[in-house]
Structure 1
Amino acid sequence: MDARKLNETAQSMVAGDKGLLAMDESTPTANKRFAAAGIPQNEETRRAYRDMIVTAPGLGDCLNGAILVDETIHQKTTAGVSFAQALAKVGIIPGIKVDAGAKPMAAHPDEKITHGLDGLRERLAEYAALGARFAKWRAVITFGDRIPSDACIDANALILALYAALCQEAGLVPIVEPEVLMDGDHTMERCAEVTERTQHALFAQLVAQGVLLEGIILKPNMVVPGLKCPHQNTNEEIADATVQCLLRTVPAAVPGVTFLSGGQSGELASARLSAMNARFKGRMPWALAFSFARAIQEPAMQIWHGEDANVPAAQKALVHRARCNVAARRGEYTSAMEKQ
C-alpha cells in the first residue's frame, strides 16, 4: 500500500469546489430509467448515453471524478477512446463501482447486505489496469419496525471495511457508502440517530481492518426526514443535523465527504449542500462535496431522449446542474441559478 499516493488521490477527489459524478447505475437500474423516459434499453443506447455525459464540454470544470460500472469501463466513446481515458484527458479521475448489489440478509427480514467480496482482489487489479484510481461500494440501511438491527449495521460495516482494505492494497481509493435510505415516515431526528449508529460502526471496523483513513472518501446520506414524514424540515435544519452527525462520527483524518443525493431532487440536494458549506465554513476538518447521480443527470436524460440531435442541449443541462453543485460547495447556490 502506497499511503502517500492514496492520500494524494483522495485529496484530488475533493479538491477545489468540484465533486464527483455517479454514473454507475447497474444495467437493470439504467434500463428502468430509460424505460420511464421512453428510451430504448440496450447496450448501445447505454453506451451512447454515457458518451453524451463523458464528452460534455466543460464537465471537467465541475468534476474531480466520475464513477463508472463494469460495462462502461470496458466501452469506448464514439471517437474510439475508452471512457476512462476520455475522462482522464479532461482532468476527471475515473472510478469504478465494484459491489454486486444489496441482497436480502439471512435471518433478518426486510434488511439487506451487500455482496461482491468474492474475487474482488482480482477484479480490482483488472480495473486498476483499465485506468480506475478509486472504487465505490454501497451498503443499504433500511428503516422499518424494529429495524435497522445492530446485526445489519455491523455486518455491512465489516464488509465495507474489508472492501476498503482490498482497494488500498490494489492502490485504489475506496469510497465507502453506508446509505441510510429516505424511504419511510421517520423523522429527521430518527434518521440522525440511525446515521450516527451506522457511521460509528463503520469507522470502528475501518480502524480494526487497518484501513488508512487518509486514503478513503466517505459517501453518506444527508440527515433528512423520510419521504412520507408529515413534517419536512427546512434546509437549514437538515444542514445543521447532518454536519453535527458528521462531527460526531467522522475522524478528521478523512479527506472528504461526498454526499449521495438519495432520491432528493437536484434543487433540494444542491440547496442543502450549500447550506452546510455556508453555515459551517471554516469549522469542518474535511471537505463537504457531492457525488450525485440523478440530481445531476436527470434533466439531461429527459432532454437527450436517445436522440443524437438532442446531445448538445442535454450536455448543456448536465453541465449546468454540475455547476450548481460547484456553487453549493462554495455555499453560494440559490434557486435562481436553475433558471440561468
Structure 2
Amino acid sequence: MFMTEELAKIAQAMVAPGKGILAADESSGTIKKRFDSIGVTSTEDSRRDYREMLFRADDAMQNYVSGVILYDETIRQKAKDGTTLVDVMKAAGSIPGIKVDTGAKALAGRNASIEAVTEGLDGLRERLAEYHQLGARFAKWRAVITITDSLPSWNCVKANAHALARYAALCQEAGIVPIVEPEVLMDGAHAGHTIERCYEVTEWTQRVVFQELYDAGVALEGMVLKPNMVIAGQKCAKQASPEQVAELTVKCLKSTVPSAVPGIAFLSGGQSDEQATQNLSLINEIGDLPWKVTFSYGRALQAAALKAWGGKAENVAAGQSAFTHRAKMNSLAALGQWKQNLEKAA
C-alpha cells in the first residue's frame, strides 16, 4: 500500500496543473537527424550541451515542466561543471524519468513489413533497479500502431498492449511510475486515415491496453497515459478541424480511460508546434474531465529551441528563450487558457 501511495504521489506531481513532461529521450539515431538539420555534429559532448541548455532554462523547468524523459546516455551524463544532469533537473524541481524500451521492431507474421512490436522486456527488472538508483522515478515505453485499409491486426494490438502491461507492472515493482504510451501513428501514407478511422483504432487499442493492465495487476493510480490525439492522418485529404479533434479525443478517452488514472499527457505525434498546443487547449476547454490532461512533447517543445541554439555557446540564451516560450504556451494549453494572440505577442 505504501508503494502505491508513493507511486500515486509521483504520478500526481507529473501532471500537476499547468505543468507537462519534456520528452528528451531521443535515441542516438534520432538526435543525429535533428542535429543534422542544423548542421551540428552529434557527439556525446554536443548532445550533453544541448540537453544541459534545456535543463538549465530555469523559468521553463521550474514553472512549466514537471519531469523529463531521459535517454540511457543522458541519465548517466554530467554537466560541464561536473553536476549530474539528473541533479540539474532536480534542482529545477523536475522529476527525472527514463525511456526503457529498446524500440519498435517488425512483428513477425504476415504483416511484418508494416506492423511493429516494441521490444525491451528482457532484463528490464534489473535495468529498472539501476535506473531507480540513478534517480529515475518514472519511465516510458512506446508502442506504435499503424492504420491501413485492413490494419491494425488483432495480433499487433494484443502484442503491444501485453508488452505495455508487463513493462508497467515491472516499473511499479521497482518504485517507478510507468508512462504507458500506445501511439496510433498519424504520419503514415494511408489516405483512408480519417479522424473517424483514427477514433475507431484508438478506442480499440486503449480498451485492450487497459484490459491488459488490469490483468497484470497494475495500479492505475500510479501510472500516466501518453496517448495520441484522435486526429486524421497527415496524408488524408479530409483534415478535421481543431474543434473536431478535441471533441472526438475527449469522447474516446471518456469511453476507455478509467477515472482512477491520475493524468493523461499527450504526445504530439507529428503535429506542428502550434497545432499541438491549440488542440491541447481545446481539449481542456471542454472541461469536466476526470483526469488531469497535459502534454508530453518532444519535438513540439524542442524544435524552436534547437534551431535558435544552432550548436553555438553564444546562442544558449536564445535557445532557452525559445524553449521557455513553447513550454509556457503548452502550460496555458494544459489549463485551457491558450490563445493564438499569445504566440504573436512573444
In the superposition, the TM-score normalised over structure 1's length comes to 0.98
User: 1:329: how far off?
Assistant: 1.1
Report the Cα distance in structure 2 between the residues aligned to 1:73 and 1:193, rounded to whole angstroms.
37
Deviates more, 1:143-152 or 1:113-122: 143-152
Match of 2:295 among 287, 290, 295: 290
Asked if residue 310 in structure 1 is aligned to residue 303 in structure 2, the reply is: no
Letter in 1 for 2:341: A
Asked if residue 262 in structure 1 is aligned to residue 269 in structure 2, the reply is: yes
| Partners of 2:17 and 2:292 within 8 A in 1 | no
User: 1:44: how far off?
Assistant: 1.1
Report the Cα distance in structure 1 between the residues aligned to 2:312 and 2:83, rounded to whole angstroms.
21
Letter in 2 for 1:222: M
Deviates more, 1:35-44 or 1:209-218: 35-44
Match of 1:246 among 231, 235, 253: 253
Asked if residue 116 in structure 1 is aligned to residue 120 in structure 2, the reply is: yes
Match of 1:99 among 87, 101, 123: 101
| Partners of 2:58 and 2:92 within 8 A in 1 | no
Alignment map for 1:122-137 (pairs within 5 Å): 122-137=126-141
Match of 1:197 in 2: 204
Letter in 2 for 1:145: D
Asked if residue 321 in structure 1 is aligned to residue 322 in structure 2, the reply is: no
User: 1:57: how far off?
Assistant: 2.4
Letter in 2 for 1:75: Q
Report the Cα distance in structure 2 between the residues aligned to 1:167 and 1:330, rounded to whole angstroms.
29
User: 1:145: how far off?
Assistant: 3.5
Report the Cα distance in structure 2 between the residues aligned to 1:289 and 1:330, rounded to whole angstroms.
8
User: 1:302: how far off?
Assistant: 0.5
Report the Cα distance in structure 1 between the residues aligned to 2:322 and 2:255, rounded to whole angstroms.
37
| Partners of 2:168 and 2:180 within 8 A in 1 | yes
Match of 2:25 in 1: 24
User: 1:14: how far off?
Assistant: 0.5
User: 1:232: how far off?
Assistant: 1.1
Match of 1:217 among 193, 202, 224: 224
Match of 1:80 in 2: 82
Match of 1:175 among 179, 196, 215: 179
| Partners of 2:20 and 2:331 within 8 A in 1 | yes
Match of 1:230 in 2: 237
Report the Cα distance in structure 2 between the residues aligned to 1:338 and 1:33, rounded to whole angstroms.
24
CA deviations 1:90-141 (Å, max 9, x no partner) are 1100000000000000003210000000110010000000000000000000
Structure 1: state its 5+ residue gaps: none
| Partners of 2:17 and 2:335 within 8 A in 1 | no
User: 1:335: how far off?
Assistant: 1.8
Report the Cα distance in structure 2 between the residues aligned to 1:54 and 1:332, rounded to whole angstroms.
25
Match of 2:4 in 1: 3
Report the Cα distance in structure 2 between the residues aligned to 1:142 and 1:122, rounded to whole angstroms.
31
Report the Cα distance in structure 2 between the residues aligned to 1:264 and 1:77, rounded to whole angstroms.
31
Structure 2: state its 5+ residue gaps: none
Report the Cα distance in structure 2 between the residues aligned to 1:150 and 1:100, rounded to whole angstroms.
22
Letter in 1 for 2:220: L
Match of 1:150 in 2: 154
Report the Cα distance in structure 2 between the residues aligned to 1:163 and 1:328, rounded to whole angstroms.
30
Letter in 2 for 1:115: E
Report the Cα distance in structure 2 between the residues aligned to 1:152 and 1:5, rounded to whole angstroms.
33
Letter in 1 for 2:137: R
Asked if residue 164 in structure 1 is aligned to residue 168 in structure 2, the reply is: yes
Asked if residue 300 in structure 1 is aligned to residue 305 in structure 2, the reply is: yes
Match of 2:51 in 1: 50
Report the Cα distance in structure 2 between the residues aligned to 1:41 and 1:4, rounded to whole angstroms.
41
Match of 2:64 among 45, 62, 68: 62
User: 1:191: how far off?
Assistant: 0.2
Deviates more, 1:76-85 or 1:291-300: 76-85
Report the Cα distance in structure 2 between the residues aligned to 1:85 and 1:196, rounded to whole angstroms.
39
User: 1:144: how far off?
Assistant: 1.9
Asked if residue 138 in structure 1 is aligned to residue 138 in structure 2, the reply is: no
Partner of 2:58, secondary structure, is coil
Letter in 1 for 2:86: A
Letter in 1 for 2:327: A
Letter in 2 for 1:7: A
CA deviations 1:233-252 (Å, max 9, x no partner) are 11111000000000000000
